[in-house]
Amino acid sequence: MRLRKPALIAIVVLAALLALAYTQRLYLLQYSLGWYTDIVNPRDPNRPVPWEAGPPTASQPPAQRPPNIIVIMADDLGINDVTTHGGGRTAEGVPTPHIDSIARDGVRFDQGYAGSAVCTVSRAALMTGRYPWRFGVEFTPTPGAMARVAGALYADPARIHPVVVDQEQASRSKDFNELGLPGAEQTVAELLKPRGYHTVHIGKWHLGSTPEMRPNKQGFDESLFMESGLYLPEKDARVVNSKQAFDPIDKFLWPNMRFGVSYNGGKWFEPSKYLTDYFTDEAVTAIQRNKHRPFFLFLAHWGVHTPLQASKADYDALPNIPDHRRRVYAAMVRSVDRSVGRVLQALKDEGLDDNTLVIFTSDNGAPGYIGIPDVNKPFRGWKLTMFQGGLRVPYAAKWPARMPAGQHYAQPISNIDILPTVLAAAGGELPTDRPIDGVNLLPFLQARPTATQAPRPLFWRDGPYRAVQDGSWKLISAERPKKQWLFDLQRDPTEQRNLAADQPLQLARLQALMTAHHASMPPPLWPSFIEMPISIDKTLDQKPLPQDEYTYWYN
């Protein structure tokens, strides 16, 4: 039976389109998440956030109320980005005086550790006071679209160690939005509410995006939720961009991230300005609206996470930095520090400074994939590694009414300690139906300390890639490569000398601690399907050599 000419033409055209789609399949997959977002979540123009108003007058003066509590968490901020800890940007004209002031007016934690070397797990530790693998949060959620293009994005002939992608596991994984903090967990916000706190979340969440996992169902009365990942639209006249052609993650972010937020789970809309400044404006407003009642504010900045985007005003203020990428990054650090200053000033303006506990930290160390070598100096490693560069983060707190200024706290502390400390400050009680791994630090930070923090091990876990630190000794254990690193941090704080072969007794002791800790942990709530090699001592744009030390991150 002969085909009519129009039908034949249609078949030829369809075949041509299918052939074109096949040849452009990587492009289509790489951009598909962004296109899907545009269809499902179109952004409205900016509109005012209808923050709830607290009482028009105070029933008690601030000094007689439970303290206000503010936790400010930067994203991927390296310890050397903060002057107090290192000062890597100071020589470039970007000191961090406002972050530094928290340490000066309160306590600098000399050994402040993230709960994990990556976002979600670290944030889950902060929210619950527990090691997140106790409730199955072990890996940071990854969009399935990332798995579909990861093999091609990471197909670099110069790569010595392969990226391993389990496409079958990826296909079985739940939707990205369904991966996060289980509703059965009790967050710091939930535990503060019985004490009369109004609870506010602003910024990044990364603990699940279903209605049951969003902040409003996890104890927060109000949430200004970062829905995607641009600081401003790419072509906006108010932004300066830096794209890293050597970074596969960067290649995925630019086509798929959008500029949008939502309030209390409503429709997406665009912020009014550069994202860090916008979140700061709204944080100041939330403080003003709640000045007559105790409040808990979790200000979770996206800065300085990629994509690297600076406000043009901050970029223009740094003409002395010749390298474009470093200039954009320094401008982003500048905006985060300015944000801290504006929040602190708002507390002073409202007469709340004395009786407000302010904590500043970062969710993990800075990544090597931005190509800036000194972000975690002097420590080895990056975000995604268990070396000090991935775990040691800026940590400072102040509460003028209760904590003397100028303290240096030498003992290791971690994200798991925030919930017990904050809850004690508010006069609350810890849950008794589950293990709480963190400790209340307040007794050790008062004018006349009533106790000394007892020694304890700290643990980190990412699939078979794990670490334990006990006293001055630290063990990192990896399956890919199958290797153990043992360090005496007292003598070797930058982890230069592996003592695994020289200290069998210490090695065995820490191995036993690690085995005992992980023996009763449940399986992860979702699987890892990407195994990615990370150079320990080189940024992603530096040429790898066979003798370079490396480790693998599981996600």
Q: Which residue has the tokens 């940071």?
A: 140
In three-state secondary structure terms, 522 is coil
Alpha-carbon distance of 130 to 509, in angstroms, equals 23
Residues 128 and 186 sit within 8 Å (Cβ to Cβ):
yes
Tell me the DSSP string of 240-275: EEE--TT-HHHHHHHHH----EEETT---B--SS-H
Distance CA 74, CA 119 (A): 11
- Spatial CB neighbours of 41, under 8 Å, sequence gap ≥ 6: 227, 258, 260, 267, 268
DSSP 80-103: GGSTTTT-TTGGGT---HHHHHHH
Residues noted as catalytic = 119, 206
- What single DSSP character describes residue 392? B
3-state SS, one letter per residue, for 462-488: ECCEEEEEECCEEEEEEECCEEEEEEE
Q: Is the separation of the CB atoms in 497 and 474 below 8 Å?
A: no
Tokens of 409: 């706290």
Distance from C-alpha of 384 to C-alpha of 534, rounded to nearest angstrom: 8
Query: Cα–Cα distance between 121 and 496 in angstroms, integer?
Result: 27
